[in-house]
Amino acid sequence: MIEIKDLHAYYGPIEALHGVNLTIGEGITALIGSNGAGKTTLLKSISGIIRRTGSIIFKGENGEEELIHKKPGYMAKRFIIHVPEGRHIFPGLTVEQNLETGTVNWHGFFGNKPYTAELEEVFELFPKLRERRKQLGWSLSGGEQQMLAIGRALMARPKVLMLDEPSMGLAPIVVSELFKKIVEINERMGVPVLLVEQNAKMAMRISKYTYVLDGGRIRMEGASNILREDPRVIETYLGRFATTKR
């Protein structure tokens, strides 16, 4: 779906990514690395939020398109949807209103096209959101807010879904359930996922392919089930999980 070649990204004069090559395929692609490795920067680069050079080729139904010079609004119009770290829901809107904002991409702020099917699909995926559809966003738990952020992204009808640290700040039992939903989004709904995640063990368990980013460069890559057995990955990224069943 997306092929990235020789991607460089910049914060002002500072270069944060140094020639990254990465492919987002049809499955779940994991991107792991330590804090400050450049993972969030990579997502921002794909979304067009920060200055970048190189090549970002989107392969869709109408052929290939170069997106390296496109702005965030255009990337969204290509249904490349980014769920940022920290959720960023609208706390003063209800759950249903938050979800409705995800439809702006395809019918505008004042559009009146029905979105019942999309809403129902999100509620089927996250039943708790149906129960809380009239509650304000600020009143939800952290896990429910993350569900809402992902649900809002799904309302945009993504062709590629990019998730930045979805497990951050959540209890282990919530994380486990959330990752099951990410698998369902990919397998049942057919949405390719680029998953940026500090929980490397879990990310590599559900993904098909993994990239290891360090210092703004891809240091390792490979099939997730093979890479998670690599001693270097175990020592550096799996830490205390190294002696447990993976």
Residues 223 and 30: their CA atoms lie apart, in Å, by 10
Is the pLDDT assigned to residue 147 strictly greater than 50? yes
Instruction: Tell me which residue of 161, 140, 45, 128 sits closest to 89, measured CA to CA.
Output: 140
Q: What is the pLDDT of residues 22-32, one digit of tens each?
A: 999 999 999 99
Within a 13 Å sphere around the CA of 132, how many CA atoms are in the beta-carbon half? 21
From first CA to last CA, the distance across the chain in angstroms is 29
In this structure, of 14-23, 106-115, 128-137, the range with the lowest mean pLDDT score is 106-115
If one counts every other C-beta atom within 10 angstroms of the C-beta of residue 68, the result is 17
Averaged confidence pLDDT in the chain: 89
Is the pLDDT assigned to residue 109 strictly greater than 60? no
What per-residue confidence (pLDDT) applies to 207?
96
Residue, of 107 and 231, whose pLDDT is higher:
231
Q: What is the pLDDT of residues 8-18, one digit of tens each?
A: 999 999 999 99
Q: What is the pLDDT of residues 190-199, one digit of tens each?
A: 999 999 998 8
Pairing of strands 209-214, 28-32: parallel
What per-residue confidence (pLDDT) applies to 187?
94
Handedness of CA 135, 136, 139, 142 (dihedral sign): positive
Residues 39 and 45: their CA atoms lie apart, in Å, by 10
Mean pLDDT of 163-169: 92
Total length of the chain: 246
Pairing of strands 14-24, 2-11: antiparallel
Instruction: Tell me which residue of 230, 226, 231, 183 sits closest to 207, measured CA to CA.
Output: 183
Calculate what percentage of the chain has a pLDDT beyond 70: 92
What are the φ/ψ torsions at residue 228 (nearest 5 degrees)? -75, -10
Query: Rounded to the nearest 10 degrees, how much is the dihedral formed by the CA atoms of 44, 164, 143, 134?
Result: 30
Residue, of 221 and 108, whose pLDDT is higher:
221
Among 71-80, 118-127, 232-241, name the most confident range.
118-127
Question: pTM surpassing 0.85?
Answer: yes
Calculate what percentage of the chain has a pLDDT beyond 90: 70
